[in-house]
Amino acid sequence: MAVRPITQIGAPVLRQRARALTHAELASPEVQALIDDLIDTMHDARGAGLAAPQVGESVRIAVIEVPADPPHPYRPAIPLTVLVNPVLTPIDDEQFAHAEGCLSVPDLRGLVPRAARVRVQAWDRHGAAIDEIVVGLTAATYQHEIDHLDGVLFVDRADPRTLATMAEFERHQMPAVIAAARA
- Positions marked catalytic: 145
Q: Which is nearer to Ni ion, 113 or 175 (CB)?
A: 113
Q: Which stretch binds Ni ion (CB under 5 A): 2-10, 18-26, 29-37, 94-102?
A: 94-102
Please state, in angstroms and rounded to a whole number, the distance separating the CA atoms of residues 109 and 120. 25
Q: Which is nearer to Ni ion, 10 or 29 (CB)?
A: 10
83 binds Ni ion (CB under 5 A): no
> Which DSSP symbol is given to 158?
S
Q: Which is nearer to Ni ion, 102 or 122 (CB)?
A: 102
Burial of 141 (0-12, 13-18, 19+ CB in 10 A): buried
Of residues 97-116, which lie at the interface with Ni ion (CB under 5 A)?
Answer: 102
In this structure, what are the phi and psi dihedrals at residue 50, rounded to the nearest 5 degrees?
-155, 140
Residue nearest to Ni ion (CB): 102
Q: Which is nearer to Ni ion, 6 or 34 (CB)?
A: 6
* Three-class DSSP category at 37: helix
Residue type present at position 90: P
Closest CA relative to residue 177, chosen from 125, 121, 115, 111: 111
Q: How far is CA 32 from the centre of its chain?
A: 19
Q: Residue numbers of the site for Ni ion (CB under 5 A)?
A: 102
